[in-house]
Structure 1
Amino acid sequence: MKINKLKLFTRNLNEQKEFYKFILELELLEETTDSFSVKVGESILTFVLGDDNTFYHFAFNIPSFQITESYEWIKQKIDTLTYEGKDIIRFDSWNAEALYFYDADKNLVEFIARKNLNLVSQEKFSKENILYISEIGIPTLDISKVFNTLNNESGLEIYDGDFESFCAIGNETGLFIVMNYLVKKWMPTMEEGKPSPFEIVFDNSHGEIFTLIYKNEEIKIIKDVR
């Protein structure tokens, strides 16, 4: 799975634009009076002014062996979020390491280095090493319903987890992180997730492109028939 575009909502449009343009140093692709878009490597991230959202969790893949370098880069700009006193968190079952930080909206943003992908860079870590959007969280009360919709309409499979508390759907280049928000909380802050609307354009690794709209805990998927 590959996430091509992700549209989120914000109450603080100007602050978010400043964060992504000047803190993460991402290229500003487009802006209007009520939205802006930045280039996240191979993906596009858009924020639209709105007040229906609480907060989001999403992740960016970085080179597989540069988590320490990414920490040194980001900590010069903002504080990272710790878990059990650690700035860099290991996920042994995923063969990955990650760090987390807040953006201007207090969204939970993650850099994750997935060693299985063997994404190698010899360059010093910079914005160019923020490769693409690789995760978006979906807080819900019905994980099985979300999975069945994704599986039936786009063919995505379970990467990890179950229908009780947490289920990662897709693969290491793109995942929907589906969480029962009454059972499980977001790492590393252990905040309770709440459903927030978003739109995403993704492909399922078989050349098929889909737009997914999530609102009021309901999913609508539209297949690109071009």
Structure 2
Amino acid sequence: MSISFHHVLLETATAVVPELAMFYSGTLGLRPVPAETGNVAVAVGETTLEFRPGHGRPFYHYALLVPGDRFDAAYRWAVGRLALLPDVRTGAKVFDFEHWDAQALYFHDPADNIGELIAHRGIGESGVTGRFQPDELLGLSEVGIVGDPPLLAEALAETFALPVWSGSVTEEGRLGFIGEKARTLILARAGRPWLPTGRPAEAHPVEVVLAGVVDGDIQLDSGGSVRRVSLPHPS
């Protein structure tokens, strides 16, 4: 069963909401969509990404999915818009994940969220050539959830039948990748460093609505939930 991220809601400091609106709709060129009063939301392919004012200055890790044959074009597009985050060991700004047959780059948004563009070869390939356009993004590919990975993995398996497809939820210091290749919930313990900056993961409220899974609702200890949405069938 193929899954996807239908809607992802993250919290942010109230003061940076206007900057986030300019960044996502201006810098990245994503289409604004209606949102709750005071929130900011944009369409990212199949996903609505929304931010609402919260307490403190929460931060998250997420990834946007690039068609598998468009990473080079997306990289050139990103270089002109973003300050790419380098690998702290090598200085490289392109990350090759050979075991996933994927490439990625990282950046910060105005809320200091660690954003990523990732392309998995063979997934969502379009055959398009020329300059990359933001409407080519397929949706969110990854959303980080910080908590107790074994308990979260057990709940996701029991509720949605989502497996651990990569990594580990039991080995200390590792991440657990839940779902399927290119559409993944990343489970991390608080304090586990995120690529590429090494900033320790923090638990903050996040609401994730999935499509392509059975009905269910998991309440997260950090606040928020993971649940399923029923989408209408095309007529």
TM-score by length of 1: 0.89
How far residue 121 of structure 1 moved from its aligned partner, in angstroms, is: 3.4
Q: Does the alignment pair 1:2 with 2:21?
A: no
Q: What is the distance in 2 between the residues matched to 1:71 and 1:221?
A: 31
**1:1-226 alignment, distance < 5 Å:** 1-11=3-13, 12-31=16-35, 33-51=37-55, 54-83=58-87, 84-117=90-123, 119-123=125-129, 124-140=131-147, 142-162=148-168, 163-164=170-171, 165-182=174-191, 184-203=192-211, 205-206=212-213, 208=214, 210=216, 213-216=219-222, 220-222=225-227
Aligned length: 221
Give the share of equivalent positions with the same residue, in percent.
Answer: 25
How far residue 219 of structure 1 moved from its aligned partner, in angstroms, is: 7.0
How far residue 108 of structure 1 moved from its aligned partner, in angstroms, is: 0.4
Residue by residue, what CA displacement relative to the aligned partner does 1:121-167 show, whole Å, maximum 9, x if unpaired? 31421101211011100122x21101001000111001101122210
Cα gap change, 1:67/1:150 in structure 2, threshold over 3 Å: closer, same or farther? same
Moved over 4 A (4+): 209-213, 218-226
Q: What is the distance in 1 between the residues matched to 2:188 and 2:71?
A: 25
Cα gap change, 1:28/1:221 in structure 2, threshold over 3 Å: closer, same or farther? closer
**Contact 1:5 1:201 (8 Å CA) reproduced:** yes
**Contact 2:4 2:46 (8 Å CA) reproduced:** no
The gaps in structure 2 that reach 5 residues or longer are none
Residue by residue, what CA displacement relative to the aligned partner does 1:172-210 show, whole Å, maximum 9, x if unpaired? 24111111234x31111111010111101102x35x355
The gaps in structure 1 that reach 5 residues or longer are none
Q: What is the distance in 1 between the residues matched to 2:47 and 2:229?
A: 18
